[in-house]
Amino acid sequence: MGEINTIKKWDLKSNIWRDVKSEEEKKRALSIATYGTIRHTDDGELNYILIADGCRVENHVHSGQYINDRKAGIANVIKYFERKKENYKIELLLVDMDGPLVEESKLLASYVDHLANLSSTKTVNVVGFSKCGVMAFDMMKYLKNGFSSMKTRVYSVSSPYLGTVMASPLFLEREVRKVITAKIEYDELAEKIVTAVMGLYYRIMSNSHMDLDIAEKGGVPKQLEKNYDPFFLKNIFSEENLSSLNRVNLYKNVCTLIDENTLSAVIKSGNLGGIGLCILNDCLFDGKSDGMVLFSSQKSIESFLSDGENSSVVIHSTHSVLTTPVYAKELMDLVEENLGCNKEEIKSIQ
């Protein structure tokens, strides 16, 4: 079990971070779940594996205190590092329901700086998924600790740098209507189904920065624009962000793409969510995504990186990489093989 430690709650009215006021708010606040330390040596050095999966506490648990190892695929991460030789501390970052991603980036950077400053820390490995993959890239410019440049490795996984239709209510409704009307010949019935689907969508999503900040341009309804930062993605490839690559030991972009073998792999693992993502890939993305984000959106960063840094790793997985053991291993292999590398060694490997 992971113990959930609440950090802060974003207040949409005052636009500041504040302390959590109730048990209910704990389920929607920026939090970190910590799991037991995995020790294989007596030297005391720790490799932090900080997973940021882009979900809030209530997406995984009903309470705000503890979280099962199986949630977010953490059990697969723990199992992987239990078989390795060094010492590891697994942590899960859970994002605030309302917090602008740029503000969450700042707090993430301060936490990474804190970990890097500890004498017992050997490496800090930030693995950001989906919106948190973009956030992890944005986060690097806020790092202030010199130890961070030596100890920190950042992995952006399944990142919607150009946004995604799944976070763009106006565009998603358009695509849902296309799919439904192609199957249902009665307009009135089709419209009722579209309304029902979008109603469910609005109940699941945060209706705020957490989801809307990765919307495609023009995809946010006017009534939600006050809870949306159009500049987060617009400026994601700014010179400031690109130059911040020098503030960490390693940055790697990891793309996920469903191929002809993915469906059988997720079925074999009993991953119902993965099966659903395979269906969405065909219905909404013309088979060119991981079920949530277009492959082209994930790879768009390559045009802005210098030679030697512009080749993304591709894992033929659904958007939910860690929940399928074979894909979790493929990603953690990448993390583990870079634990002992310095910048010069990494460049020689690439």
Give me the pLDDT at residue 348, please: 44
Same domain, 271 and 200: no
Same domain, 218 and 258: no
Same domain, 344 and 299: yes
Same domain, 222 and 265: no
Give me the pLDDT at residue 345, please: 46
Same domain, 221 and 297: no
Domain limit, last residue, from 179, 197, 227: 227
Give me the pLDDT at residue 305, please: 86
- Contact residues for 157 (Cβ-Cβ < 8 A; gap 6+): 127, 128, 129, 130, 133, 254, 256, 321, 331
- Tell me which residues of the chain have a pLDDT lower than 50: 345-350
Domain limit, last residue, from 181, 201, 227: 227
Same domain, 57 and 106: yes
CATH for 143: 3.40.50.1820
Same domain, 154 and 173: no
Average model confidence (pLDDT) across the chain: 93
Range(s) of the domain holding residue 223? 165-227
Tokens at 115, concatenated: 């970990």
Same domain, 129 and 264: yes
The 10s digit of each residue's pLDDT in 202-253 is: 999 999 999 999 999 999 999 999 999 999 999 999 999 999 998 999 999 9
The 10s digit of each residue's pLDDT in 130-181 is: 999 999 999 999 999 889 999 999 999 999 999 999 999 999 999 999 999 9
Give me the pLDDT at residue 187, please: 87
Same domain, 154 and 31: yes
Total number of domains in the chain = 2
Same domain, 255 and 108: yes
Give me the pLDDT at residue 175, please: 94
- Contact residues for 340 (Cβ-Cβ < 8 A; gap 6+): none
CA distance 136 to 251: 10
Same domain, 169 and 305: no
Same domain, 16 and 81: yes
